[in-house]
Amino acid sequence: METAEIQKIEDQRNDLVTMAELQHVNNQSDADEANDTLIRITAGLKEIEKKRLSFTAPINKSLREINQTFKDMTAPVEKAKRGLTQRLMEWRASEQRKIREENERLAEEARKKDETRRKIQEAHAAKGHEITELEPTKILEVTPLSVTDTTKVRKNWDFKIIDFSKVSDEYKQLNSVMVRKLMMDAVKKAHEEEKEEIDLVIEGLEFYQKEVPIFA
């Protein structure tokens, strides 16, 4: 980008700024002049933007082509990585489930053995056998199973919805994209039917028209 071209754009920018700063709005005549000034400023901004695009378009085109080339090149690797990651995590989950189930089985087995021992002791006591002291029930300790896992993982906090009706309103977000689409569909229908009002009612929302100045 040549220095002369930059200077030309800067001069144009300064003219637009001066034009806006010197414009007063105290009466209808001033308001008319302000509207004309805003139209000229808007046109000037569009001209500057067009000039910017003339410089950035070739660069962006080249950048898009480079990005697409590398995206296509690495896509098979990314897909293979996702597949292997999924298989690895599924295996980890399966192994952890097996360990949990085995530990639960051993704990239940220990509990049953202890219960049987306790009943035998109670039966001897009921028959009058001399028993100095009934041994207290004791749950046998189970040595937890473990798996040697070399996979490095990071635990990230996340959340899931259990009951949306119990979520406080402050944490609920309006689907503004869907609402705006419904509104624009209703506007289009109203124009087709030559109606001034749209036929759309959503509880808790109000649809209205606001003035937006046009300087073009």
3-class SS letters over the chain: CCHHHHHHHHHHHHHHHHHHHHCCCCCHHHHHHHHHHHHHHHHHHHHHHHHHHHHHHHHHHHHHHHHHHHHHHHHHHHHHHHHHHHHHHHHHHHHHHHHHHHHHHHHHHHHHHHHHHHHHHHHHHHCCCCCCCCCCCCCCCCCCCCCCCCCCCCCCCCCCCCCHHHCCHHHCCCCHHHHHHHHHHHHHHHHHCCCCCCCCCCCCCCCCCCCCCCCC
Is residue 153 in some structural domain?
A: no
- Domain holding 84, by residue range, is 3-147
In this predicted structure, what is the pLDDT of residue 171? Answer: 85
Alpha-carbon Rg of the chain, whole angstroms?
38
Indicate whether 11 and 95 sit together in one domain: yes
* pLDDT surpassing 80 at residue 133: no
120 vs 129, which has greater pLDDT?
120
Same domain, yes or no, for 106 and 167?
no
Only one residue has tokens 């635990």, namely 155
Let me know whether 122 and 180 are in one domain: no
Residues 43 and 122 reside in one and the same domain: yes
Look at residue 73 in the predicted model and tell me its pLDDT: 95
- pTM as predicted: 0.49
SS3 sequence of 108-127: HHHHHHHHHHHHHHHHHHHC
Of the candidates 88, 138, 87, the one whose C-alpha atom is nearest the C-alpha of residue 111 is 138
Give the model's pLDDT for residue 135. Answer: 54
Give the pLDDT band (50/70/90) at residue 216: low
Q: Are 88 and 140 in contact (CB under 8 A)?
A: no
Residue 113's pLDDT is 81
215 part of a folded domain: no
pLDDT tens-digit series, residues 155-191: 778 878 888 888 888 888 889 999 999 999 999 999 9
Q: What is the mean pLDDT of residues 8-32?
A: 92
The verdict on 114 and 166 lying in the same domain is no
- Judged by average pLDDT, the poorest of 12-16, 68-72, 157-161 is 157-161
Q: Give me the pLDDT at residue 142, please.
A: 47
| Residue 95 CB neighbour total at 10 angstroms | 14
Say if residue 102 is in the same domain as residue 190: no
Q: What is the pLDDT of residue 97?
A: 87
95 confidence band (pLDDT: 50, 70, 90): confident
Q: Residue 146 pLDDT > 70, yes or no?
A: no
Average pLDDT over residues 14-38: 92
Angular region, 153: left φ>0, alpha ψ -120 to 50, beta rest: beta
Residue where the block lists tokens 């067009």: 50
For 28-63, write each residue's pLDDT tens digit: 998 999 999 999 999 999 999 999 998 899 999 999
209 versus 147: which is more confidently predicted? 209
Residue 154 falls inside a structural domain: no
- Per the structure, how many domains does the chain have? 2
On whether both 85 and 143 belong to a single domain, the answer is yes
Using the 3D structure, point to which of 124, 147, 170 is the last residue of a domain: 147
